[in-house]
Structure 1
Amino acid sequence: MSAIWGVIDLQGKKLQAGISQVFAESYQNCVIDRYEEVTVETVYLGCGIQYFTKESVGEKMPLAEEGAFFTADVVLDNREELYAKLLGSKKPLTEMPDGELLYQMYCDYGKDCLNDLLGAFAFVYYDRKEKRAEIVIDAVGDRCVYYAVQNEILYFSSLMEPLIKLMGAGLNDRWITDFLAMDHLFMSNEAEETPYKGIYRVAPAQRVIIQEGKIEKEKYWNPFENFRELKLANDEEYAKAFRQVFCDAVKGVMRGRGDMSILLSGGLDSNAVAAVASGYLKEKGEKLYSYTSVPLKDYVVQKTGWDLEDESEAVQKTTEYLGNVEPTFVNLEGINPWKDRQGELRIMEMPYKSVQNMLWIPECMRRAYDRGSRMMLTGSFGNTTISYTDLEVYMNDLYQRKKWITLYRELKIFSKADGFSMRYAKKQIRNAGKNSSKIKTDWNSLYGKSFVRPAMVEKEGAAERMLAMKRKFAEASLCHDATRKLMVQDVALRQIGEAGTKHSLATGVLLRDPTKDKRVISFCLSLPVEQFCKEGKERRLVREYLKDRIPPHILQAKTKGKQSADLAYRMSLKWEEIRQEWIQLYQSYPDSRYVDSTKACTELLQNPDMEKYTTQMLVRHMYTLMVLELENQMEA
């Protein structure tokens, strides 16, 4: 696993001098174990190898032979299966690192092998004779690589910084406008554009071919192609099938060099991963090391509602139940999400919205690295797969299929279990179809409380994209077939993979999420809606089919973990200083192309008391100001 970068002149001309230095400067702050390069007159390839697995220590990358050039950022989860498919003579698997195995597979089978690959990867293959370059990303976008083409010269890199410098790239108005206009945690509404003009990210499961001045794109994995819903005889058969695919996914990612670690919360998903992973480790007499975000010591935990703001007690019980899990609790003493933003901005290379997660996840990764762990498990995608549930969709789906008796029975059970009236539920179901077709188009409905400048919204046509997004989500609530399409979105996969790649380069630890394994995704997509939610029980895959593995207190919990619950409190410790800084920044840039600085500043001037601000309001100001600072930086 590694960072990759390079420059290829597709016309066969000699590359300009000094290019390698631009990349070297951009990667100097990354935790790289070994740097390797290949340079000929028309091709320059680089690889910053990170020793995430024992095999990676012997990795030789980039590769160059007989006019073919190859560099890869890769960890494979099905090495034995792929090795068995190789053609011709081959060295022992124990002597073949992942990059070499991937290269041999691609030489033997070309693009036809891509669906056989399990794992996280990004690679570039160049055929000098054909003057054809190919860039490929794993099916779920776990790794990212950026590229740009100018005058038939291909530039690519795991980081954007060298491409920005080499291209002299300016800001992408459409990306930044949409980033601000979406008043939620999505950063982009498509999978390939970046904040910079002319620089693109390869989308999940995408193969990009650059040849003869043309750029072609292919999608090699689509879980809905030849889709069939899985029909099994009973719940016992569904349980057996689910356990097999999920446990295989967990075991497949446990190839880390050094101790195995995990981001562990009090929720179902990370506990499911921990339960299965700790079982495998226990067989070898090994421990699983967990890292958990907890609030500052003097923060007063709110114990109302569904949120569990301090998960330390739940995690402690989990470690005791599993027996071979050693916990570490991280409270980020002295860290302020605004004051300490520059470090994360340098890592992410763009404004970011998930301020809460950007506080604790990289810090946990750093601590794991210091302990000697190079791989960290997570269950962050589990809400979309193994613990997915949506009672509203289930009820609407039964209504649409005219399953009246089942609908009445389920309404009766769930209304009693969840405390809502049947009359209210019936009204909501009857109105669901009507409401989905009545999408409001006023400013607040499309852009919420966003501080995006209206003139930019109009110029970039953001309204059409925001409306399409709202319509898609509204229609998805009507039936499970529509919901399936939203369970695997390239936009969401891109956002997770982009952050994961950047954080692995910055910390030297690789995040692996078996709940995002493409086999797990395909399996969950194939299930009937009743497998997720029925008979008064939600999140059934985990609660029912893994109940013999997951700690009882997790199965019985009615709350949901809330990481970085003390974000607003951290801000309050220096609130007036921060508020005045924000006001000054907005007032310094009244003519921003993207930000309505007057509107944003007015909110701060009219509401001096910290109590007036929700966490969402604070986060909105932070990412808006990140855009403002980026705009000023690019124009300086």
Structure 2
Amino acid sequence: MSAITGVFHFNEEPVSVETIESLMQALQKYPADDVRVWQDRFAFLGCRAQWITPESREERLPYYDERQKLAITADAIIDNREELFDRLRIEHSRRRGMTDSELILLAYLEWGKEAPQYLVGDFAFMLWDERQRLLFGARDLSGTRTLYYVRHPRRFAFCTVMDPLFAIPDVKKELNESWLAEFLMIPIILDTIDVHSTVYRGIGQVPPGHSITVEDGKLSLQRYGTLAAPVGKLKLKSNGEYEEAFRSVFQEAVTSKLRTYRRVGASLSGGLDSGAVASFAAVPLRKEGKSLHSYSYVPPSDFVDWTSKSMMADETPYIDEIVRHVGNISHSHLDFAGRNSFEEMDDLLGLMEAPYKFFENSFWIKGILEQANKDGVGVLLNGGNGNYSISWGPALDYYARLLRKLRLLRFYRELKLYGRNMRIGRSRLLPIVGKMAFPVPSRASNPSPDVPLLIQPDLAERTKVFDKLKNHNVGLTESSMDEFEARIDQFENLSILNHQGTSSTKLSLRYAVRERDPTSDPRVVRFCLSVPVEQYVQNGIDRALVRRSTEHYLPDKVRFNLRVRGVQGADWIHRMKPSWGAFRDELHQLCRDPGASHYLNVSQIKESLSRMGSSPKPECAFDPNARLLMQSLIVYRFVRQFSS
């Protein structure tokens, strides 16, 4: 894991010492085990390396292969090393200590620009091919590592983060109104749908699953693959065979992500996804003589859970059950007393280099990484994409599909069993499933009136942002997408992947802890997509494959928990009570600032302030007006830098 950067001059002028020093100095805020630069005439590469894997301790980046005339700088952990060793016919004597950057170079020598499609792991890299006189790089399929760039007539520059690029001559810090308009218009957690641009005009980014080539002064981007690459439907003979196949693929993915000379950690909730990750990690770690260090966020002791009976803000009973059942886990419950979303806003803005929307969870996501760093953890596992891979299985959507296809015997049998399991009568279920099976087409041409919009109307009009977004599933209009379509969208929609990877990269750089998600490993995703839907919904039970496959891995209390789901962020308003006065005062200041009204819908902010009052109840945590107020202040603090 590293922060990488580089500059290439098209006119073959040398890269100045001042530019190199400015770029590397701007990266000094990130901890590093090794700092190096490489320069050859008009090309410069730099790396501020954080050693995570055993091999990385011997890695010297940037690396130059004198014989092949190739130079590389990389932010990479490659997971399918053994497969690549075999494909590339690498002698066994060279395999053990071979670094991931060397492996990428060998893949490039073998497959050229097709090399990224053979790599499994988390990576962003750039290499200089002196013989071909081109720069080539790529970002992994999930977009777990970022790669930004600027291109001017005389030069090309890139970096893991954006701020250092302002050290490049002629690169100015100018707001990209089109990006901001999308951010403000989209009411859900997603930032934008544009995966090529950024909040800064002139700074672009390589999208997930794309390669970049700079040759003869021209820049080209190409999508080399997708997480949801078609693999055909898997046809096995029995439930047991599907379960065994799942365990094999998932174990391989989890084990490949344990490769660190430091400790291994995991973010643990009380659910199936993170529980499965932890249980599949604990066994191989035990063989290495290591234990798994797990971390769970819990609300403060004075928080009263206001959520419904089907939800649980504090998952401690399920978490403790997992820890006891799995064993070989050193667990920490963390409540981060005294911390809240308002007080941490400036730090998050500095880290993210842009406005952000995950404010409800921001302080504890940071807090877990801080604690993991203190505990000497190098890899922090999570199950972030499990809902759409390992634990997918939407019962009602499946039943709607059965009804639509008139598979009535199976439909009535499954619905009866589901109603019994969920304690819901079929008379209540039938109308719900019927509407899902035969929905009334929606022809919304304007945003839903139920969604309070943060964007200033004139900004929306001059950027034509609604026209850009109206055909995308971003919460502006009623979605016609069912869970089958949403699943594919989760793994093919670059804006979703980009959003996840951006926060993961920037937070992990700060704390030198690499977040890794086996549930979004391409091998796991493609396997799960190949499994017939009947394995995921069976005998009236949703998420059936993972429930069956984790027998002995997870306690039955977790495996057969059908009616209670954990909910995160329910306590953010409760935590902000001591800061609510200061929060309101700053919002009133925003409403008086003429600069804010250039971007923000001040009249809506005033209305939302009135609705929330001087002391909102914790139950307002998911009120769209409360969310709008927090997001407006985050954007306000960010855009003020452009008026100073």
Q: TM-score, normalised by structure 1?
A: 0.94
C-alpha contact (below 8 Å) 1:185/1:354 kept by paired residues: yes
Match for residue 461 of structure 2 among 455, 458, 462 = 458
Q: Deviations over 1:434-478 (max 9, x none)?
A: 646214233335x8112111222222222223321149983431x
Identity fraction in percent: 28
Match for residue 143 of structure 2 among 141, 144, 148 = 141
Total equivalences in the alignment: 634
- My pick for the range that moved more, 244-253 or 625-634, is 625-634
C-alpha contact (below 8 Å) 2:535/2:544 kept by paired residues: yes
SS for the counterpart of 1:265 is coil
Q: Deviations over 1:110-131 (max 9, x none)?
A: 2333222121111102223433
SS for the counterpart of 2:96 is helix
C-alpha contact (below 8 Å) 2:208/2:497 kept by paired residues: yes
Partner Cα distance (2:490, 2:518) in 1: 19
- My pick for the range that moved more, 412-421 or 512-521, is 412-421
What are the residue-to-residue correspondences of 1:40-119 with 2, within 5 Å?
Answer: 40-64=40-64, 65=66, 67-86=69-88, 92-119=94-121
Q: Deviations over 1:42-93 (max 9, x none)?
A: 1111011111112111101112335432111111112222223335779622
Instruction: Flag the 1:226–1:307 CA change in 2: closer, same or farther, 3 A.
Output: closer
Deviation at 1:380, TM superposition (A): 1.1
- My pick for the range that moved more, 305-314 or 43-52, is 305-314
Match for residue 632 of structure 2 among 617, 624, 627 = 624
SS for the counterpart of 1:449 is coil
Q: Which amino acid aligns with 1:145?
A: L
Instruction: Flag the 1:393–1:439 CA change in 2: closer, same or farther, 3 A.
Output: farther
C-alpha contact (below 8 Å) 1:290/1:325 kept by paired residues: yes
C-alpha contact (below 8 Å) 2:401/2:437 kept by paired residues: no
What are the residue-to-residue correspondences of 1:200-211 with 2, within 5 Å?
Answer: 200-211=204-215
Partner Cα distance (1:283, 1:67) in 2: 41
Q: Which amino acid aligns with 2:593?
A: S
SS for the counterpart of 2:114 is helix
Q: Which amino acid aligns with 2:270?
A: G
C-alpha contact (below 8 Å) 2:229/2:526 kept by paired residues: no
Match for residue 301 of structure 1 among 305, 314, 330 = 305
Match for residue 614 of structure 1 among 596, 601, 621 = 621
Could you tell me which residue of structure 1 aligns to residue 571 of structure 2?
566
Instruction: Flag the 1:611–1:505 CA change in 2: closer, same or farther, 3 A.
Output: same
Q: Which amino acid aligns with 1:440?
A: A
Partner Cα distance (1:473, 1:203) in 2: 27
Q: Which amino acid aligns with 1:144?
A: T
Instruction: Flag the 1:149–1:531 CA change in 2: closer, same or farther, 3 A.
Output: same
Could you tell me which residue of structure 1 aligns to residue 479 of structure 2?
474
Could you tell me which residue of structure 1 aligns to residue 599 of structure 2?
594
SS for the counterpart of 2:598 is coil
Q: Which amino acid aligns with 2:254?
A: V
Q: Does 1:340 align with 2:348?
A: no
Q: Which amino acid aligns with 1:627?
A: V
Q: Which amino acid aligns with 1:127?
A: D
Deviation at 1:575, TM superposition (A): 1.5
- My pick for the range that moved more, 487-496 or 497-506, is 487-496
Deviation at 1:232, TM superposition (A): 2.4
Deviation at 1:150, TM superposition (A): 0.9
Partner Cα distance (1:47, 1:457) in 2: 40
- My pick for the range that moved more, 106-115 or 489-498, is 106-115
Deviation at 1:593, TM superposition (A): 2.6
SS for the counterpart of 1:573 is helix
Q: Deviations over 1:162-202 (max 9, x none)?
A: 12453114111121111111111111123222111121221
Instruction: Flag the 1:425–1:559 CA change in 2: closer, same or farther, 3 A.
Output: closer
Instruction: Flag the 1:506–1:486 CA change in 2: closer, same or farther, 3 A.
Output: closer
- My pick for the range that moved more, 240-249 or 582-591, is 582-591
Deviation at 1:525, TM superposition (A): 1.5
Instruction: Flag the 1:523–1:373 CA change in 2: closer, same or farther, 3 A.
Output: same
Instruction: Flag the 1:310–1:427 CA change in 2: closer, same or farther, 3 A.
Output: closer
Q: Which amino acid aligns with 1:32?
A: A
Deviation at 1:224, TM superposition (A): 5.0
Match for residue 259 of structure 1 among 240, 253, 263 = 263
- My pick for the range that moved more, 549-558 or 365-374, is 549-558
- My pick for the range that moved more, 357-366 or 178-187, is 357-366
Partner Cα distance (1:210, 1:175) in 2: 25
Q: Which amino acid aligns with 2:73?
A: T
C-alpha contact (below 8 Å) 2:404/2:438 kept by paired residues: no
Gaps of 5+ in 1: none
What are the residue-to-residue correspondences of 1:214-363 with 2, within 5 Å?
Answer: 214-223=218-227, 225-302=229-306, 304-363=308-367
What are the residue-to-residue correspondences of 1:384-403 with 2, within 5 Å?
Answer: 384-403=388-407
Deviation at 1:487, TM superposition (A): 4.5
SS for the counterpart of 1:476 is coil
Deviation at 1:227, TM superposition (A): 4.4
CA RMSD, aligned part only?
2.3
Deviation at 1:291, TM superposition (A): 0.8
SS for the counterpart of 1:233 is coil
Instruction: Flag the 1:588–1:127 CA change in 2: closer, same or farther, 3 A.
Output: same
Deviation at 1:95, TM superposition (A): 2.6
Instruction: Flag the 1:257–1:202 CA change in 2: closer, same or farther, 3 A.
Output: same
Q: Which amino acid aligns with 2:9?
A: D
Gaps of 5+ in 2: none
Q: Which amino acid aligns with 1:216?
A: S
- My pick for the range that moved more, 121-130 or 518-527, is 121-130
Q: Which amino acid aligns with 2:105?
A: Y
Deviation at 1:18, TM superposition (A): 1.3
Partner Cα distance (2:602, 2:595) in 1: 5
C-alpha contact (below 8 Å) 1:397/1:480 kept by paired residues: no
Instruction: Flag the 1:7–1:487 CA change in 2: closer, same or farther, 3 A.
Output: closer
Partner Cα distance (1:365, 1:372) in 2: 11
Q: Deviations over 1:11-41 (max 9, x none)?
A: 3222244112322232121121111101233
Could you tell me which residue of structure 1 aligns to residue 421 of structure 2?
417
Q: Does 1:9 align with 2:23?
A: no
Match for residue 411 of structure 2 among 392, 407, 411 = 407
Partner Cα distance (2:311, 2:486) in 1: 29
Q: Which amino acid aligns with 1:511?
A: E
Q: Which amino acid aligns with 2:5?
A: W
Partner Cα distance (1:465, 1:473) in 2: 16
Deviation at 1:495, TM superposition (A): 1.3
Instruction: Flag the 1:144–1:427 CA change in 2: closer, same or farther, 3 A.
Output: same
